[in-house]
Amino acid sequence: MTENDPSAQDPAAPRHPETGQQAAQGGWAGSPYGDQAATPESGGTPQYSVPEPTYHAVTGADPSYATPNPNPWSAQGTASGQTQQSVYPPPNPNPYAQPGTSAYGATPAPPTPPKRSGGKLLAGVALVALLVGGIAGGTVGYLTGGTSGGPAGNALDAPKPAQQTGNAPAGSVEAVAQKLSPSVVELQVSGQQGAGEGSGFVISTDGYILTNNHVVEVAANGGQIQAVFQDGKKAAAKVIGRDPTTDIAVVKVDGVGNLTPVEIGRSDDLRVGQSVVAIGSPFELAGTVTSGIVSSLHRPVRAGGGQGSQETVMDAVQTDAAINPGNSGGPLANMSGQVIGINSAIYSPQSASGGQGQGGSESGNVGIGFAIPIDQARRTADTIIKTGQAVQTYIGAQVTDAPQGGAKLGAITPGSPAEKAGLKSGDIVTKIDDRNIDASDTLVAAIRTRAPEEKATFTLSDGRTVEVTLGGQPVPAN
């Protein structure tokens, strides 16, 4: 034997404890490549030697031949002792691994992972499967929906839902509409000066209907009025009385009985922001229902008859419920279905007058409508029905705007309530009771909301207060 003879053995070389075999030159028998192990540099093909198995004195396995399981959760690595580990290490899956890896035998094998519960492992895997499956299922469903070849769903094939049979919820717009609609009528009017239409509402079972003066004035002298009810019935009507100064009129239908009158509420306790419902016939669309809120109170508005004069100033309830030409004379109601106003005017910046107006093809809703307070309308309607003539509340003085604010009194009518109270031309009224007066229209509106013979305290700009007993005078029929 020579030094280079591969079969030469070194007497001092260690021998196998059982077989007595010496390790092959160039590597231990435990090396997966033996003495012909290929390295990254040589590029050779590794040749495997098969050493005799050696067992640990305690565990029965020789750790020098063990290779750490690359997957500690695989069947081979679930627990040491369950499956006996092979003494024949597998070939290095990466022959070009860096030095220090298990392929070179320089890194000791890591300890075997502790025993895990198979049940917990399965549960964890099942959870992941559910989560992933849910996401994947949704994605696949989205991508393949409608292409699976199954029957397509169609809403037209679904059965109709159950028919609504219950009553409308109390306090809803629907409930107000159900309550009031049978009492609201469309008024079709014609006369020598033209034709038009508006709305009104029944206030008695025998046919009295409350509406606006400007709705029926064209038929006041020889014209015709036809009332159209919710159920389509029609009846002729005639004017009983009207008041241009408050834009209120009463008509009565003939040959119709057992009508449903509205429930009249009150307007003196209205609050800004509370909900209201308007019903009428805008643009001849009978039975139209809109809703909104009370936007403001005690708004002085010139309306009625297109005159735009101080004679038609009303102390209006402002609302944003949609009101259009044809709504005039219809009810404005609270959410209990009680009438609290008569729709009378809208603010229409595109109208010819550039101010408040109702009627005319250019007028349209801009969210600012005005209604006559029902307290004032009720008093006037009652007087008309009982006497056939309206009575106007007055003080007997001309009035204009004061430059510094307030209402400046002009000529005083002799024997009038103003003269009897001691008011003089040139006095400036700044308050009536607790209501501030900032302009002449505000003074007129405040007086007309009150009844004749009612007392009111006027505060003047110089600080004086004067108590005035308001007067009443018949409105000429024309």
Residue whose C-alpha is closest to residue 408's, from 420, 421, 426? 426
Q: What is the DSSP letter of 83?
A: B
Contact 63, 56 (CB under 8 A): yes
- Pairing status of strand 263-264 against strand 338-347: parallel
* CA–CA dist 345, 364 (Å, integer): 11
- Please pick, among 31, 199, 243, 247, the residue that the annotation labels catalytic: 247
* Residue 247 annotated among the catalytic residues of the structure: yes
Cα separation, 238 vs 253, whole angstroms: 7
Bridge pairing between strands 331-333 and 391-394 = unpaired
Tell me the residue type at 392: Q
- List the structure tokens of 163: 């028919």
Given the residues 328, 344, 348, 363, the one annotated as active site: 328
* 214 tagged catalytic: yes
Of the residues 102, 214, 363, 375, which is catalytic? 214
Sign of the alpha-carbon torsion through 249, 250, 251, 256:
positive
| 203, 221 Cβ separation under 8 angstroms | no
Residue type for 183, please? S
Closest CA to 436 of 300, 340, 246: 300
Q: Is 461 exposed, middle or buried (0-12, 13-18, 19+ CB in 10 A)?
A: middle
Q: Are 461 and 430 in contact (CB under 8 A)?
A: yes
- The residues carrying an active-site annotation are 214, 247, 328
